[in-house]
Amino acid sequence: MLISRRAGLGGAAAILAAPRLGSAQLASRTLRFLPQANLASLDPVWSTATIVRNHGLMIYDLLYGLDSNYEARPQMAAGHEISADGLTWNIRLRDGLKFHDGEPVRARDCVASILRWSKRDVLGSRLVALGEEVSAPDDQTIRIRLKKPWPGLAWALGKPSANICAIMPERVAQTDPFTQINDPTGSGPFRFRRDLFRPGDVAIYERFDGYVPRSEPTDFMTGAKQVHFDRVEWRVMPDPATAGAALQNNEGDWLESPLTDLLPLLRRNRDIEVGVINPAGNMGVLRFNFLHKPFDDLAVRRSILSAVNQRDFMDAAIGTDRALSVVPCGVFTPGTPLANDAGLEVLSGRRDLDAAKAALRASSYDGRRIAMMSATDMPVIQNLSEVAADLLRRVGFNIDFPAMDWGTQIQRRTNRGPVEQGGWSVFCTTWEGLDVSVPGSHQPLRGNGAQAWSGWPTMPRLEALREQWFDAADQASAKRIAEEIQRVAWEEVPFIPLGLVRPPQAWRRSITGIVRGGPALFWGVRRA
């Protein structure tokens, strides 16, 4: 057995500090996780930040969960019955569910949670539009009556992407959805220790002994959520190089977002494993402002398509390791059920810069200055933006590429004015793969004008197809609609997909049982 020098040097001190032996035992039952960002807020309905969603998935359970095929299965729900006309859902809760304060989970808690979530989430807003009644006829039954059938309701309630439909106690869920909750009492397999929470430093979770796991085997967000650690510590390290060094030095067990440059170093370390646990990853997106010239002109948007080389974008974003990105990438996340190759040759065929230049010259573009926003503090987005800026210049755009941080960019995005009034023309970002795997939550495909995502396109054909997808009776018809959506997307160009980034994670080999399928999850994980 190898004993490190530091451990050896510390030996004498350890003898003098016998009480600390207890803390060593605690350490073996503690998982030290190095998250990708600082957990600042605690409300996964109020905030859409990925780190807050991950926190939410630890301490809250959901009525449904997605399995590794991205299909919804009952989680807190024992099951449901749908009326013959498809308008009424009666969802039954499992027996024995408890909140972290020991109170039983009742249907009215779920109703309050669903109503709060529905006011913030993109799919939740459909429930607001279609819902005639969300009620609790008894403690075990949630009744949802709709104006028209919605086969995807369980998927919406179980999707793990922000905003999640976190089940909270009724008293907490009655908080205005635009105000952050103060009480982190949850329903999930981990209990949050708010008293030990130091934002920017550490967030501590303990196993909730009152949690009743399902009996089926774990399958991504479904099945048994068995917890094998007494405690999970999220230790925030703002510098990714330091976080990588901490993992190598056994000061952390699991690093959520290793620096791409450090991957070769981590892979050479015999104690560390590097892998992709979220195959749905994040889709790179080039988004236009449809309210102003030049991108209000379809011909200008389409002129770029033949010059876009998704491989260039992916190499810049995540490096040349082919396991970490997917191209060609259509408008739906590659590897998910609705991904298809309808018309994909517009991005996968021969790249032709001259054709793009000629198409731009033939369009209404008059050489005006366009503003491309980029967030310098988001490395993947910044790298995508650098490639996009270079591409747009080569195609013939007169581009202004101001540096700004994420906070500034996200505010400037809300400006609907022209560039001269502080507005913008184009930007790159990434979308969580699960969000853009189905039309319902696929914001870049929305064409509902002023209510659409930044850029505000009006595209009635896409909106009509989205409605058709909601009504699709089966997966085959959903897929046909998805193919049609993709064909229309190439014609109207609401955005340009730049490829799928599959960010790797790194963990010490002493950690096993990591659940694959999406974000970092902490059930099933154990120390070997």
Partner 1 sequence: MWAYIIRRILATIPVMAIVALFVFSLLYLSPGDPAAVIAGDQATPDDVERIRASLGLDRPYLVRFGAWTWDILRGDLGTSIFTNLPVSTMIQQRIEPTLSLMIVTLILAVTIAIPMGVVAAWKQGTTIDRCVMAFAVLGFSVPVFVVGYVLAYVFALELDWLPVQGYTPISNGFFPWMENLILPAVALGGVYIALIARITRASMLEVLSQDYVRTARAKGAAQPSILFVHALKNAAVPIVTIIGIGFAGLIGGAVVTESVFAIPGLGRLTVDAILRRDYPVIQGVILLFSFAYVLVNLLVDLSYTLFDPRIRY
Residue ranges that bind partner 1, judged by CB under 8 A: 4-7, 9, 13, 17, 38, 40-42, 46-49, 120, 122, 162, 176, 178-180, 182, 198-202, 235-239, 241-243, 245-246, 248-249, 251, 377, 404-408, 410-414, 429, 431, 443, 450-451, 453-454
Of 162 and 493, CB closest to partner 1: 162
Rounded Cα distance between 125 and 115, Å, is: 10
Q: How far is the CB of 509 from partner 1 (least distance, A)?
A: 18
Write out the H or E segment, with its range, that includes residue 406. Answer: helix 406-412
Write out the H or E segment, with its range, that includes residue 431. Answer: strand 426-432
Spell out a b/e string for 306-317, using b for 16 or more CB atoms within 10 Å of the CB, else e: bbbbbbbbbbbb
Q: How far is the CB of 426 from partner 1 (least distance, A)?
A: 16
Rounded Cα distance between 219 and 160, Å, is: 13
Rounded Cα distance between 81 and 154, Å, is: 12
Of 7 and 473, CB closest to partner 1: 7
Of 48 and 88, CB closest to partner 1: 48
Q: How far is the CB of 178 from partner 1 (least distance, A)?
A: 4
Of 339 and 452, CB closest to partner 1: 452
Of 129 and 362, CB closest to partner 1: 129
Characterise 30 by phi-psi region: left (phi > 0), alpha (psi -120 to 50), beta (else): beta
Of 122 and 500, CB closest to partner 1: 122
Rounded Cα distance between 144 and 80, Å, is: 11
Q: How far is the CB of 422 from partner 1 (least distance, A)?
A: 9
Q: How far is the CB of 47 from partner 1 (least distance, A)?
A: 6
Instruction: Tell me, rounded to whole angstroms, the distance of Cα 428 from its chain centroid.
Output: 16
Q: Which of 184, 214, 188 is nearest to 62 (CA)?
A: 188
CA distances from 81 to 2, 65, 91, 280, 372 (A): 59, 17, 7, 30, 50
Write out the H or E segment, with its range, that includes residue 115. Answer: helix 107-118
Six-digit token string for 171: 């008293």
- Tell me if 283 sits within 8 A of 500, measured CB to CB: yes
Q: How far is the CB of 227 from partner 1 (least distance, A)?
A: 25
432 three-state secondary structure: strand
Q: How far is the CB of 327 from partner 1 (least distance, A)?
A: 23
Of 159 and 487, CB closest to partner 1: 159
Spell out a b/e string for 227-260, using b for 16 or more CB atoms within 10 Å of the CB, else e: bebebbbbbbbeebeebbebbbeeebbbbbbbbb
Pairing of strands 325-326, 141-146: unpaired
Q: How far is the CB of 326 from partner 1 (least distance, A)?
A: 21
Of 407 and 460, CB closest to partner 1: 407
Of 38 and 88, CB closest to partner 1: 38
Q: How far is the CB of 518 from partner 1 (least distance, A)?
A: 17
Of 38 and 226, CB closest to partner 1: 38
Of 149 and 455, CB closest to partner 1: 455
Measured distance between the N- and C-terminal CA atoms of the chain, rounded to whole angstroms = 16
Rounded Cα distance between 111 and 133, Å, is: 10
Q: Which residues touch 290 (CB under 8 Å, ≥6 apart)? A: 296, 455, 456, 457, 458
Q: How far is the CB of 303 from partner 1 (least distance, A)?
A: 26
Q: How far is the CB of 331 from partner 1 (least distance, A)?
A: 17
**Residue written as token pair 């032996």:** 21
